[in-house]
């Protein structure tokens, strides 16, 4: 079964450093997302990306965050200057448009990157 792949699985960084989280979505999917989950809290939407541009972003996704799809397969989330409160699990997700989906349609999530800011 196709998977969304995320690397690294765990990243430790010092406060103020830049980090790049990487994702390889399912190859024929067209919509891409980043979510995060702070320990013990709910999964929160960060940003959606379609047709090589941001289609929607949440209040969390401020100027410190950016996304890119540099080569048609990878999808990255960059945090320019990390803060302690950025420590969380970051999940990448992808999906097809519903009209192209058959059966039980849904968003596919990766296994996540655990970001620890010290």
Partner 1 sequence: EDQVTQSPEALRLQEGESSSLNCSYTVSGLRGLFWYRQDPGKGPEFLFTLYSAGEEKEKERLKATLTKKESFLHITAPKPEDSATYLCAVQEETSGSRLTFGEGTQLTVNP
Site for partner 1 in 96-115 (CB under 8 A): 104-112, 114
Cα separation, 40 vs 2, in Å, equals 28
Q: Residue count at the site for partner 1 (CB under 8 A)?
A: 27
- Among 29, 48, 77, 82, which residue interacts with partner 1 (rule: CB under 8 A)? 48
Q: Which is nearer to partner 1, 24 or 44 (CB)?
A: 44
Q: Which is nearer to partner 1, 37 or 74 (CB)?
A: 37
What is the number of residues in the chain?
118
Piece in contact with partner 1 (CB under 8 A), picked from 14-22, 39-47, 64-72, 75-83 = 39-47
Strands of the 75-79 sheet, one edge to the other: 5-7, 19-24, 75-79, 65-68
H-helix or E-strand containing 56?
strand 53-57
CB 88 within 8 A of CB 115: yes
**Torsion angles phi and psi, residue 98, rounded to 5:** -60, -35
By CB under 8 A, residue 55 contacts partner 1: yes
Q: Which is nearer to partner 1, 33 or 75 (CB)?
A: 33
By CB under 8 A, residue 91 contacts partner 1: yes
């Amino acid at each position: 079964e196709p998977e969304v792949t995320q690397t690294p699985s765990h990243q430790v960084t010092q406060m103020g450093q830049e980090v790049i989280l990487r994702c390889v979505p399912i190859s024929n999917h067209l919509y891409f997302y980043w979510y995060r989950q702070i320990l013990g809290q709910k999964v929160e939407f960060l940003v959606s990306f379609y047709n090589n541009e941001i289609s929607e972003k949440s209040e969390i996704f401020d100027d410190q965050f950016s996304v890119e799809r540099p080569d048609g397969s990878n999808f990255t989330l960059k945090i320019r200057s990390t803060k302690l409160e950025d420590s969380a699990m970051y999940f990448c997700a992808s999906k097809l448009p519903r009209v192209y989906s058959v059966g039980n349609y849904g968003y596919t999530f990766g296994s996540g990157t655990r970001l620890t800011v010290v």
